[in-house]
Amino acid sequence: MTLYTDSIFLTNETEGFKQCRDTRWEISTTVLLCTAGFIDVFYRGEMLRIGKDDIFIRVPNATKLGPFEMSPDFRFMQISIPITLFENLMYGNMRVEPNWWAKQEYLKLHPVFHLSAKSIEFCEVYFHLLTLQLQDKQSEYRKQILMLIARGATMELLNYMDKAVSFDDIMHRTSVNSSDYTFRAFTQLLREFPHEREVQWYAKKLDITPKYLSEICKERSGKSASEWIADITVAELKHYLRETTLPIREVAKAMEFPNASFFCQYTKKHTGMTPNHFRKTKEA
């Protein structure tokens, strides 16, 4: 079975796995759970074996999958999400997940986990829910529901990683002078003060220049500090416009814009649409 929309790709068959590799999904965020047999796949310069009850997670900006070989009895469940949508999920989780960047960095180096029976059961439930929703093509809210299920599944994986790895220890072992630490401090400030929209404000908090902060962000994530701030803001305004019925002036007030007019200009600049137009469209 292979099912997909523009926002999610789901498969449990070999042909679906191959199809995913041959399309734009090749650079997507991918979660693969092996339920029987094994697959050997070349990844980040080495051959990885993903065996029964192992889960493989490829996060944004990680290496593409290389050559692979499956055992005759290999069985699996795979979910892939475009990088941009995965980032939107993480922006939402960022409000409750202080170590989310450290976890993504950890997964680049340690992409395979062996799951407990309980965690496997959770994965199977989420896979089933996504399958049902993808098959229901008449649902007016299918895309929103798919993203809610995907967000729940992402948080469940983050919860499992909390139990498996001490990320506080990892962060404490990092030099306070390193660019990695500075970047994490920046994302922590974004989490705590999402309505501050000037690079200068964050740079002052970190006691560095705005130019240096942007250089660090670009080095660590491929995006400048201003792009990070804009992405966080746009993700939040999309939430308000999609998931609430608040008047535009109330949304502007909740997001601490100086006035509704400025909020409308900002939305137009970053989405290409006015808030009211964006709210009426189906594209998230």
Nearest to residue 8, comparing CAs of 126, 132, 134, 179?
A: 134
- Do 155 and 132 lie in a common domain? yes
Residues 113, 195 share a domain: no
Sheet holding 68-70, edge to edge: 46-51, 38-43, 68-70
Assess whether 127 and 160 both reside in one domain: yes
Together in a domain, 55 and 107:
yes
Percent of the chain with pLDDT over 90: 30
pTM, to two decimals: 0.63
> How many domains are there within the chain?
2
Q: What is the arithmetic mean of pLDDT over 99-113?
A: 76
Task: Note the pLDDT tens digit of each residue in 142-164.
Answer: 878 888 888 888 878 877 877 77
Q: 47 and 125: one domain? A: yes
Structure tokens belonging to residue 238: 């999309």
Query: In this structure, which amino acid lies at residue 35?
Result: T
SS3 17: helix
Q: At residue 202, does pLDDT exceed 90?
A: yes
Q: What are 9's strand-pairing partners?
A: 4, 80
Q: What is the CATH number of the domain that holds 225?
A: 1.10.10.60
User: Which domain range does residue 101 map to?
Assistant: 2-168
What average pLDDT does the segment 227-255 reach? Answer: 89
Q: Considering 168, 196, 227, which residue would you say is the last residue of a domain? A: 168
